[in-house]
Amino acid sequence: MSKDVPSDPWERPALAVWEESRPGRVSVAWSLAGGVTAGGLLVTAVSLAGSLSASMASTVATILFVLGAAAGFVHGGLLGYLGRDLSRSRAHAFRGVAFGLLLLLPSAPVVWLFTILLALSVASLGSGRFELQLGAVAGWMVGLSLCAWAAWEGWLALKVVWARWPGRREGSLIMAGVLAILSLNFVTTRPEIWGTDIRVTGAGALILAFGATTWIALPVVLATLHLFHRVMGGRASGQDRDG
């Protein structure tokens, strides 16, 4: 690092640290994409089946946007931290995530507006009004762009995590099995959206299954296998010392 650039990340410009910080980038990308996926894509899938009226779509989309954005930020930060550059300090990762949270304060409301446009796209495209149709197209363009960004950042972090993960083979098999079981179960039972009487469509069920696998099962499996390998490694080293 240059002599003119402070080594302490708390003394450097926050934006520069965020751009270098994988935890910061992944947390922001997953937060915005999580809000779009839950509040926009899921609500659109339900609306296509006629299970949700246009008057209720914006309310449900807002609730799901907040939940999806919060879950995406937490899990994105965790994934980014596990896949961080080990040559950088933990303080660098934490400051990247902290500044990412500040970036969400102005950006999340803007993305929420486009998410509402996306959630109302079924009614907008059938309204015959050009301005509503244009808004729906804009919502889809922004939403898909954010999901693509989140997928890219997540893929870069996942490659690093997978390479470092001692239990990657069994973990990958477990995650594939969890996704398959949840997808089959959700498509068969069609769960209701929490807090409402709205039952999701087949596409919505697949989105929920993927979200549950990524946001709930993945952290549990990662933590469990990490603890298992740590315990087994400790026992093996203890046996070697006894031998």
Q: Cα separation of 185 and 205, whole Å? A: 9
Question: pLDDT tens, 21-60?
Answer: 788 899 999 999 999 998 998 888 887 777 677 778 888 8
| Exposed/middle/buried for residue 12 (C-beta within 10 Å: 0-12, 13-18, 19+) | middle
Rg of the Cα atoms in the chain: 21
Give 91-121 pLDDT, tens digit per residue: 878 888 888 898 899 999 999 999 999 998 8
Alpha carbons 33 and 189: distance in angstroms, whole number? 26
Question: What is the CB neighbour count within 10 angstroms for residue 97?
Answer: 23
The whole-model pTM stands at: 0.74
Q: Would you state the structure tokens that stand for residue 71, as one six-digit string?
A: 């879950």
Q: What is the pLDDT of residue 127?
A: 76
Per DSSP (E only), the strands in 61-151 are none
- Please write the tens of the pLDDT for every residue from 126-152: 777 888 889 889 999 999 999 999 999
